[in-house]
């Protein structure tokens, strides 16, 4: 299964339908907030043809340490989303995201020069906890002015993570900029991902993000028993790993 885990909420309908036609099996509709999270998820499923799976995602921009206290695992507003991503803007907040904060994705703004270094020990702490790093290809297509900086930052993330725990997403606002899974795999090679790593970034890694999100929402990972015979080997692959 191929997933795009970053479809901006304001344009979700057009982007999701295009993603479906190009071969994606599921999308996550994303809304971005700054400051404290004070409301539950308001994202509604978009009308698309076929059987495209839809999940919800929240990306929280972290710019102040005072935000941290409201982002604990007990926050019911966070639990209303299938996926939670944090975008740290300082070195201290980046370290907290990697070391201890309960999120599924670390979504750095790679379109500009990062104000802090990305070091292996910090990144390794995140990957050991099952947190994933996001690379959005949309800027490479839509914004030529930031393409060079974006490519440099992407290559740096791949180098430090060694290509592990990476997800590739679109974050495009124009349906014409959506690319097929196989085109995105080819893009992944440009910033250092092997074919296997690029494929995983759209499939098995994305499924692992959804699995982590489910465990986060059920508080401390309560087990759910299901009959193996009822599982679809493809659609429910994350349950069989």
Which residue in 44, 34, 115, 107 sits closest to 71, CA to CA? 34
Using only the alpha carbons of the chain, give its radius of gyration: 17
- pLDDT value for 226: 52
pTM (2 d.p.): 0.89
The answer to whether residue 143 scores a pLDDT higher than 90 is no
**Structure tokens of 161?**
């993570």
Q: What is the mean pLDDT of the chain?
A: 91
| Structure confidence by residue, pLDDT tens digits, 15-53 | 999 999 999 999 999 999 998 898 999 999 999 988 999
The dotted CATH code for 3-240 is 3.20.20.140
Which residue in 66, 175, 157 sits closest to 120, CA to CA? 157
Q: Would you call 197 exposed, middle or buried from its count of C-beta atoms within 10 A (0-12, 13-18, 19+)?
A: buried
| Structure confidence by residue, pLDDT tens digits, 50-103 | 899 999 999 999 999 989 988 987 889 999 999 999 999 999 999 999 999 999
């Amino acid at each position: 299964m191929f997933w795009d885990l970053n479809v901006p909420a304001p344009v979700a309908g057009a982007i999701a339908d295009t993603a479906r036609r190009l071969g994606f099996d599921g999308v996550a509709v994303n809304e971005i907030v700054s400051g404290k999270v004070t409301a539950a998820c308001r994202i509604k499923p978009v009308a698309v043809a076929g059987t495209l799976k839809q999940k919800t995602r929240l990306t929280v921009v972290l710019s102040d340490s005072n935000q941290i206290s409201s982002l604990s695992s007990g926050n019911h507003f966070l639990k209303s989303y299938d996926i939670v991503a944090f975008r740290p803007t300082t070195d201290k907040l980046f370290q907290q995201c990697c070391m201890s904060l309960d999120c599924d994705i670390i979504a750095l703004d790679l379109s500009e020069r990062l104000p802090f270094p990305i070091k292996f020990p910090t990144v390794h702490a995140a990957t050991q906890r099952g947190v994933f790093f996001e690379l959005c290809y949309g800027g490479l297509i839509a914004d030529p002015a930031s393409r060079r900086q974006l490519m440099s930052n992407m290559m740096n993330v791949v180098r430090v993570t060694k290509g592990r725990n990476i997800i590739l997403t679109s974050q495009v606002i124009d349906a014409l900029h959506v690319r097929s899974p196989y085109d995105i795999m080819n893009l992944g090679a440009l910033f250092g991902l092997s074919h296997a790593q690029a494929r995983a970034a759209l499939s098995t890694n994305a499924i692992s993000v959804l699995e982590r999100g489910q465990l986060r929402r059920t508080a401390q990972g309560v087990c759910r028993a299901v009959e193996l015979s009822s599982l679809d080997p493809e659609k429910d692959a994350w349950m069989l790993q």
